[in-house]
Amino acid sequence: MGKILVMDHPLIQHKLSILRDVATGSKEFRTLISEIATLICYEATRDLPLAEIDVQTPICTTKAKAIAGKKLAVVPILRAGLGMVDGMLALVPSARVGHIGLDRDPDTLMPVEYYCKLPADIEEREVFVVDPMLATGGSAIDAIAQIKKRGPKHIKFLGIIAAPEGLNALKEAHPDVDIYLAALDEKLNDHGYIVPGLGDAGDRIFGTK
């Protein structure tokens, strides 16, 4: 069973409150999404394996730790997931980046795939799927199913706000996936938006509306 972590760190909670505010403009919104992604990434990389290395300090040689060559990939779900990529790469700059384009049909709320380009060696990598919003869960479930067909080592989902409906659906569809979130909100409304949420993440990041 994958782990589920809703991060209650004060820095994340503070930034999330500004993100939710309807008065926050696109420039600040993008910065906050990226900063929160970095903070979630810090926790999601806690279990990376370490190897012992020798380091020559100015004083002597000592045993020290280094990440044990683990290969990582970040896969944003377009569009809104793009907002989290730079924040992830700030901590794991050598990660490869794949892209999955999914759009929710506004009537059925079902995800429709329009793009998929993943790293060629994804089967050797641990994959971090990123998308700020987990609403019905349809987009994340579909994206992870596409990635699993390519046989990666392990998958983690990093989101910012989830609805209970989406979290339950994702857990059920992909019980092996670890899930990291900044908040678990109250519910979905009749249009599939998270309540209280932050509105349409893609539109707020890219200023399209």
Rounded Cα distance, 179 and 104, in Å: 21
Cβ contacts of residue 19 below 8 Å, gap of 6+? 29, 32, 33, 36, 160, 198
Does the annotation count 45 as an active-site position? no
CA distances from 51 to 56, 68, 113 (A): 16, 5, 39
Q: Which one of 24, 38, 150, 200 is the catalytic residue?
A: 200
Cβ contacts of residue 29 below 8 Å, gap of 6+? 19, 204, 205
* 176 close to 117: Cβ distance less than 8 angstroms: no
Does the annotation count 108 as an active-site position? yes
136 sits near ligand PRP (criterion: CB under 6 A)? yes
Distance of closest approach, residue 178 Cβ to ligand PRP, in angstroms: 18
Nearer to ligand URA (CB atom), residue 87 or residue 197? 197
Rounded Cα distance, 112 and 142, in Å: 9
Does the annotation count 203 as an active-site position? yes
Rounded Cα distance, 72 and 41, in Å: 12
Does the annotation count 190 as an active-site position? no
Q: Which two tokens stand for residue 46?
A: 């806690």
Among 76, 98, 119, 166, binds ligand PRP (CB under 6 A): 166
Among 85, 135, 158, 179, binds ligand URA (CB under 6 A): 135
Question: In the 8-state DSSP scheme, what is residue 29?
Answer: H
Nearer to ligand URA (CB atom), residue 91 or residue 206? 206
139 sits near ligand PRP (criterion: CB under 6 A)? yes
Distance of closest approach, residue 39 Cβ to ligand PRP, in angstroms: 19
135 sits near ligand PRP (criterion: CB under 6 A)? yes
113 sits near ligand URA (criterion: CB under 6 A)? no
Residues identified as active-site: 104, 108, 200, 203
Summarize as ranges the residues that interact with ligand URA (CB under 6 A).
Answer: 80, 133, 135, 192-194, 197, 200-202
Summarize as ranges the residues that interact with ligand PRP (CB under 6 A).
Answer: 77-80, 102-104, 109, 111, 131, 133-139, 166, 192, 200-202
